[in-house]
Structure 1
Amino acid sequence: MSRLSELLRTLEQLDPKLAKDLDDEIRPLQKRLPFGLNFERHAPEAVELAGHRIRKGNKVRVLPPRGSTDRGDQRLWHVDSLSGGIAEVSTPNSEGRTTQSVPVEDLILVAEFRDHIYPGLRPGGSVERGADKPFHTVINGENFHVLELLTFTHEHSVDAIYIDPPYNTGSRDWKYNNDYVEGDDLYRHSKWLAFMERRLKLAKRLLKPDNSVLIVTIDEKEYLRLGLLLGQVFDNARIQMASIVINGQGSARQMQMSRVDEYAYFVYLGEAKPTAVAVETLQSDDSQSQVGAERIWFPLIRGGKSGVRAKSNDSFFPIYVDDDTGRIRDVGYPLPPLEHPDDSVPPPDGCVSIWPISRGGIEGRWQMSRAEFISRLEKGYIRVGGKGKNGRWPITYVRAGTIARIESGEVVVQGRDDRGALILANDPDNPRGRTPKTVWYRKSHNAGTYGTDLLNSLTPGRDFPFPKSLYAVEDALRFFVSDKPNAVVLDFFSGSGTTAHAVMRLNKQDGGSRQCISVTNNEVSAEEHAKLRRQGLRPGDPEWEQWGICDYITKPRIRAAITGLTPEGEPIKGEYKFIDEFPMSDGFEENAAFFTLSYESPWMIEADKAFAAIAPMLWLRAGAVGERIDSLEGGWAVADSYGVLKDLDLASDFIAELQRRQGIRIAYVVTDDDGRYQQVASEIPGIETVRLYEDYLRNCESTGDI
């Protein structure tokens, strides 16, 4: 029901004649539609927050009895007092004020979207295999509120947003105001548009206005309305739509043509445009393993089943890297087959020995013999990357095909780096590069094989409806972030986590350090919801939450992708295909951190009693790299990319430490004294400063009423 209809219904109880007169005047106006998209801006959404503490002053709903599947009391109640596990609650109605006493365990916290919220993050573990690379993050929470949080951490800082929102098929695939929207709901389309508009307006605040892209996939149910909505929200952008074949066999539609495709809108902001790469979108046969034109350097250590020492002992030799400069100073000889690296093969003074040994200790082999390695090293076709926290120096090389392209001028030599490797770039007129077409037809985009089946390999036995093809998402992003190795990618309808997985693959292909922020909630399906309710469970119960999408699918999928192990600890079966083929059990050298959105009290924050909840946001804003400052016991702390000062009397020590470190991006200063804050900020040139908690609170109070 629209907001206007709700107001008329309320008025009808007070003055039926006035309500009828107003309704008679409004109806003709509703039929006079100006040009463009018109829909009801429904009352702002409300979300039930299971598991959150009930406090005096909260808005709550009273839950139905355990075991009941009834919808329950949908009224909002106000908590007047709490005592001994019992809450006194009240709600106004047309006849006056109603009160009742309710056990606290029967109440659930409610946040309305018209209210200001003060978000925090509760850490939920991490997986770390990427040394110094930034962390991908997964946030479990209502995505509208997480987007509000991200306006503090990432305003105008996101390079690409990829979302796969609910398609509004009428099959109870999404909720509005905590109710699944049914196919016969007369307001189904306008509810969906209101739902999307609020989130897109916040997404616009996060994208870089000078060069970024929004990608939205949709099917035929809402693509026309979505196109108009995007045009209204992003009125200064250029918008294109592509048709992507996701099931060549077709999906039956009653009394209609069989559906084989879906649509993707590309919203270009500023100078954004698709980059030409060696991927032909209109080519159904992907049997040719096409390497993207942007990928030049490949890991020197061989992967897969053939990448073991026993296959070629001549490729098992040490590379001696100067531990100060990162330059290769010498190359050792292959060991006899039965000997193993130990102290009997010491490196030259000041060097470390790099052997082709996997993280699991398995002796592998390099991609080439010692003689070929030395030849390529002299020509600049071997590159040493940055030293990782594990003390290893990653080494990459240029493949023979790329060498041929260098010699033909297709790949341009721009010089050598300080370690002797060639600095290479693709020729902007590279004939291998192709601009994507508006119809995509590739074997790799099949959602059944490379969505459902691939996800089942990562998380066996865990069902998720309609996951995207990993390679379709990868290709969509490739066209916009291939030339941005440090891009920030956001997906706030992350579902099973395909977007983060695709970003990891892009990083592996070119050595990039892109990071993905994935946002999802921990909802269960409509069928599972009813089943759990009949079992006497409620949202917030551990037995309920374990089946939620974030805990059951998203986080396990991302852990599995990185570690190469299923949730049961078994090596993942199968191999990645197409552009970069290697066993899925190899995993990725990436990091990921998991969080749950929390709702904090502004008074506790202002009194500096909620730092633990705000701490992850400070880390995110500083790039989500390295260690995180979770407490301030000594009055100040400095991590890899940021610092926090609480005791201003220790400002000189804090500033000295900032100046000593490299890579510091932000300094947070906790004070309610603007003069002292300005004094400290003036002594930290070249580093962004943020005042806590003033800047955070002001941001929270400016994001409402979307």
Structure 2
Amino acid sequence: MIERIPDEDLRADIAAQVENLMKTRSWGLVFQEHRPETVELPHAKIRIRSLVRVRTEIDGGEWVVTRIRRGGVAELRHTKDANNVTEAPVKELVAVWDFSQQIYPGLKSLGRIETGGDKPFHAVINGENYHALKTLLYAYEEKFDAIYIDPPYNSGSKDWKYNNDYVDGVDLYRHSKWLAFMERRLKLAIQLLNPDNSVLIVTIDENEVHHLGMLLERMFPTNIIQMVTIVINPLGQARKQELARVEEYAFFVQIGSAQPTRHTDDFLSDELKTESSRPEKVRWERLIRGGNDARRAKSPQLFFPVFINPQKKSIVRVGDPLPANADRESVEIPEGQIAVWPLREDGTEGRWRCSPSYLRELLSAGYAKVGTYDAKNDKWSILYLGKAQIRRIDDGHIEVTGRDPNGTVIVESRVTNKSLPKTVWNRLSHRAGEHGSGLIKKLIPGRAFPYPKSVYAVADALRIATGDKPDARILDFFAGSGTTAHAVALLNAEDGGSRQSVLVTNNEVSVEEAENLRAAGHRHGDEEWEAMGIFHHVTRPRIEAAITGVTHRGDPIVGDYLDGQPMAEGFQENVEFFDLSYEDADRVALRLEFEAIAPLLWLKAGAKGPCIDRENESWEIPENGTYGILFNPECWSDFTDAVRLRPAIKHAFIVTNSDAVFEQISDGLPSGVEPHKLYEDYLRNFRISEGASS
């Protein structure tokens, strides 16, 4: 900020006073809070006055575009030396934005996975996390029940996929850059957390643990803050002239009335005793196979009817597989029965998880049953007990207490007292090697991510924060390999929850990869460069593999989770992937960028069902959606009538520049429907400005 003062003498005087203050002020946490940050935007349009870097220069500094000549050549002036001028082809420039500039964001969908029925979608965003946090304020201000982050540890390591070195040689206090980096993002996190009841979890190691603790105390002066020690490597990591390190730390900040959820494991007591007294989860699985590759043509022998009596909710008979080209409509259905087929969410033909003969065995044993009826889609589900649960029954760990009128077993978990987890965790399941790096190798073989968390350690942390909130919203804006989304899926599978995660990660490449890519003639923004970044190379394929049960190579994942569930079965979850984009405010005001902001409206409305991604001449309310958009105010009467007929609608977006028209239409909406004004709300809410938040 001092560098922006135009008067040279005043700038020098203030700088001297600040320096003196920094040297003499010795109480509390003192650091240079306003250290600037910048981010490269390879796909942003280069204009006059744009701040840029030259792609071919590694450490050439930053330039300002003073003119763009015909032929696509830009004249440049160096930001630190006005006499240093040069020129370069526009195609060799990459835009650079500092966090004081106003940016108007959008989201571009990269694809989705739908295996979770009507559950809300998890969102995974590729973008700079500070800008992404500001973007999420529009959809989720004060809406998150938990935020879990694993930020850079400031170890100085150069082998990470993201910058892990936040020490600046000109820093009067070597931790200022990291602390300023964290404070800027935590300020936004505070605005995203539910002030009445939510939890912030931040993991860290010894490099910054004490400074982070002081920063959190300063930012959350009235909240309960506890630090948990987690053993992640019992063998220890040897370091020169130091004791072998076995642990890392997690800070839990309880917001409002939040308190830890009790658990059957305190994570410290004797593990064998704890395991023997822990109740087993009785989990009924959906028989239909999920995943993008679960088509009938893939395994025709797994496409067969299950005949049920809808009145008794009983399975009458298991049919035989149809020939590959046979039409299912040709199958005769006995009177009073319904044929349930493995039909996917989009109505296409899928496949069951097991053969007809094995399903008949399960039915005979009482291990298969009719599930719920989906009235919206006129579909029944079939449920069964997986092999892991059957083993628990055979071992006596799950008790069969009886049978229902259809012969289906009634099973119960053992009941045990729950206690508060302790502040030291020592569990084999929290080992980062086996359940972090080892799991990554199974999910995305041939690809690596350094030091991923154990998925069970993350799941346990989130269980403490959201165990009693099966519909919790959870944010991770240092998503890394995507462990948090995986952990949320595990929790949902465990208790039948519909927790929704929102993840943000950038697409940086490691230092070694960057050197190899430059040697091959590639630059930041090139397709070959972007393919090796965190998001595209690790995060997205890891989450896709976890949900579908299939690796990026198309092979079923080998291995089981700790509860015995095969990894190849995947999870019943929905997820959509996005790129964070940077839009032109004038084009937004002229309604030329609706497609870019459409996903933001969908997120704000709950991220359920289809997204309205195209404008039309009147209004639109998607089937099974939770929101509608009125594009033409003259059609307001028909729109409000349609909203009244759809009780699931909770948000209405109204395109108008008139406050009077907006108020009139809002008054016509039924109670419980929240109105939003487009595009004025967007332009006001998305003026991303560093000066407004730090």
Confirm or deny a common fold (TM above 0.5): yes
**Equivalent residue in structure 2 for 1:613, among 586, 596, 600:** 596
Contact 2:287 2:353 (C-alpha < 8 Å) held by counterparts: no
CA distance in 1, matches of 2:72, 2:16: 50
* 1:49-64 matched pairs, under 5 angstroms: 49-64=41-56
**Equivalent residue in structure 1 for 2:31, among 20, 35, 39:** 39
CA distance in 2, matches of 1:47, 1:115: 11
CA change 1:704–1:682 in 2 (3 A) is farther
For residue 391 of structure 1, what is the aligned residue in structure 2? 379
* 1:113 maps onto 2:99 in alignment: yes
Contact 1:300 1:367 (C-alpha < 8 Å) held by counterparts: no
Contact 1:320 1:330 (C-alpha < 8 Å) held by counterparts: yes
Contact 1:274 1:479 (C-alpha < 8 Å) held by counterparts: yes
CA distance in 1, matches of 2:220, 2:86: 47
Contact 1:127 1:592 (C-alpha < 8 Å) held by counterparts: yes
CA change 1:128–1:355 in 2 (3 A) is closer
* 1:346 maps onto 2:333 in alignment: yes
* 1:332 maps onto 2:316 in alignment: yes
For residue 551 of structure 1, what is the aligned residue in structure 2? 536
CA distance in 2, matches of 1:231, 1:321: 61
Secondary structure, counterpart of 2:237 in structure 1:
coil
Q: CA deviation at 1:433?
A: 1.5
Secondary structure, counterpart of 2:542 in structure 1:
helix
Q: CA deviation at 1:184?
A: 6.2
For residue 449 of structure 2, what is the aligned residue in structure 1? 464
For residue 156 of structure 2, what is the aligned residue in structure 1? 170
Contact 1:135 1:515 (C-alpha < 8 Å) held by counterparts: yes
CA distance in 2, matches of 1:426, 1:235: 42
Q: Which runs of 5+ in 2 are unaligned?
A: 290-303, 344-348
* 1:409-428 matched pairs, under 5 angstroms: none
CA distance in 1, matches of 2:188, 2:92: 33
CA distance in 1, matches of 2:213, 2:135: 27
Q: CA deviation at 1:37?
A: 1.3
Deviates more, 1:596-605 or 1:229-238: 229-238
Contact 1:451 1:470 (C-alpha < 8 Å) held by counterparts: yes
**Equivalent residue in structure 1 for 2:521, among 533, 536, 557:** 536
Q: CA deviation at 1:19?
A: 7.6
* 1:75 maps onto 2:62 in alignment: yes
CA change 1:21–1:470 in 2 (3 A) is closer
Deviates more, 1:144-153 or 1:27-36: 27-36
For residue 451 of structure 1, what is the aligned residue in structure 2? 436
- Alignment TM-score, normalising by the size of structure 2: 0.85
Q: CA deviation at 1:449?
A: 0.4
**Equivalent residue in structure 1 for 2:248, among 255, 262, 266:** 262
The total of aligned residue pairs comes to 656
CA distance in 2, matches of 1:84, 1:149: 36
Q: Which runs of 5+ in 1 are unaligned?
A: 304-315, 408-415
CA distance in 2, matches of 1:684, 1:422: 48
**Equivalent residue in structure 1 for 2:265, among 268, 272, 279:** 279
CA distance in 1, matches of 2:687, 2:412: 46
For residue 126 of structure 1, what is the aligned residue in structure 2? 112
Q: Read off the aligned partner of 1:566 and give its amino acid letter.
A: T
Contact 2:142 2:192 (C-alpha < 8 Å) held by counterparts: yes
Secondary structure, counterpart of 1:148 in structure 2:
helix
For residue 155 of structure 1, what is the aligned residue in structure 2? 141
Q: CA deviation at 1:367?
A: 10
Contact 1:320 1:348 (C-alpha < 8 Å) held by counterparts: no
* 1:598-677 matched pairs, under 5 angstroms: 598-639=581-622, 640-677=625-662
Secondary structure, counterpart of 2:239 in structure 1:
coil
Contact 1:277 1:294 (C-alpha < 8 Å) held by counterparts: no
Contact 2:444 2:551 (C-alpha < 8 Å) held by counterparts: yes
Q: Percent identity?
A: 42
Contact 2:63 2:79 (C-alpha < 8 Å) held by counterparts: no
**Equivalent residue in structure 2 for 1:320, among 283, 308, 318:** 308
For residue 196 of structure 1, what is the aligned residue in structure 2? 182
Q: CA deviation at 1:113?
A: 0.7
CA change 1:338–1:495 in 2 (3 A) is closer
Q: CA deviation at 1:52?
A: 2.4
CA distance in 1, matches of 2:116, 2:542: 17
CA distance in 2, matches of 1:289, 1:385: 36
Q: CA deviation at 1:477?
A: 0.7
Over aligned residue pairs, what C-alpha RMSD do you find? Answer: 3.9
- Alignment TM-score, normalising by the size of structure 1: 0.83
Q: CA deviation at 1:487?
A: 1.1
CA distance in 1, matches of 2:361, 2:274: 24
Q: CA deviation at 1:508?
A: 1.1
Contact 2:39 2:96 (C-alpha < 8 Å) held by counterparts: yes
For residue 578 of structure 2, what is the aligned residue in structure 1? 595
For residue 424 of structure 2, what is the aligned residue in structure 1? 439
**Equivalent residue in structure 2 for 1:243, among 229, 232, 242:** 229
Q: CA deviation at 1:665?
A: 1.7
Q: Read off the aligned partner of 2:534 and give its amino acid letter.
A: I
Contact 1:385 1:394 (C-alpha < 8 Å) held by counterparts: no
Q: CA deviation at 1:531?
A: 2.2
Contact 1:286 1:443 (C-alpha < 8 Å) held by counterparts: no
CA change 1:165–1:439 in 2 (3 A) is same
Q: CA deviation at 1:75?
A: 2.6
Contact 1:140 1:521 (C-alpha < 8 Å) held by counterparts: yes
CA distance in 2, matches of 1:361, 1:43: 55
CA change 1:236–1:115 in 2 (3 A) is farther
CA distance in 2, matches of 1:582, 1:247: 25
CA change 1:359–1:41 in 2 (3 A) is same
Secondary structure, counterpart of 1:625 in structure 2:
coil
Contact 2:40 2:97 (C-alpha < 8 Å) held by counterparts: yes
* 1:504-543 matched pairs, under 5 angstroms: 504-543=489-528
For residue 562 of structure 1, what is the aligned residue in structure 2? 547
Deviations 1:336-364 (A, max 9, x none): 99999996672554745479998356426
Q: CA deviation at 1:590?
A: 1.3
CA distance in 1, matches of 2:176, 2:44: 31
Contact 1:51 1:539 (C-alpha < 8 Å) held by counterparts: no
For residue 312 of structure 1, what is the aligned residue in structure 2? none
Secondary structure, counterpart of 2:251 in structure 1:
strand
CA change 1:423–1:209 in 2 (3 A) is farther
For residue 298 of structure 2, what is the aligned residue in structure 1? none
